[in-house]
Amino acid sequence: MRFFALTAVASLLSAVSAANITVIVGKNGTLTYTPNSVTANVGDVVAFQFVAKNHTVTQSTFATPCTPKTNPAGVSSGFQPVASGATSFPEWSFTVQNASAPLWFYCQQVGHCGQGMVFALNPTADKTFAAFQAAALASASNGTSGGYGYPGGTGSTTGSGTTTGSGTTTGSGSASSASTKPASGAMVVGGKAAAFLTIAGLVAGLNL
């Protein structure tokens, strides 16, 4: 009984100490994530708010910043169009389940990554955000910058995904989704105009 009580207290303290980190996508119409690099702890929620144009938050790797991560497949917000003059904005977020390994993201809209629209979570001294962005900029000159072009517009925000391999990522969401708890035990939270995805099980030293 005492063990269970201590476990409950530890879980409560962890929940209380978790931070909510907001990243603005396309602030002032620019091709940026603001901030473009963050340090987060286990349990922190990183929320991306899309405020202009039509962008994505797509997972890549340090070695190939403008190409979607594969084997295992990475996660992506999908394209999030925002109409001119919009007063409500879509969001996509995930809860950090492992802070040991850095995660790398870029905008999949055609040409945006090659102009430096990239984001890093928990970069290291060996793999810095500056080096990651420099590689993205270089990809534009050598023609390796990947992306898909989609016009701006309006529509519902939905998302889902499952990643297997050295780690597991599960989650789903929609503009009207409710809080759910998948089999992995990671909490996926839903809300207005939001799609939420939980990244779990990434191991330290993963070659990104």
Cis peptide before 68 (omega within 30 of 0): no
Is the CATH code 2.60.40.420 the one for domain 18-200?
A: yes
- Residue boundaries of the structural domains of the chain: 18-200
> What was the pLDDT predicted at 87?
95
> What was the pLDDT predicted at 140?
83
Q: What is the largest CA-CA distance in the chain?
A: 63
Report the sign of the C-alpha dihedral through residues 61, 62, 67, 71, in that order.
negative
- Tell me the mean pLDDT per 10 residues along the chain, length 208: 50 68 98 98 98 98 98 95 96 94 98 98 98 96 56 41 34 34 32 41 39
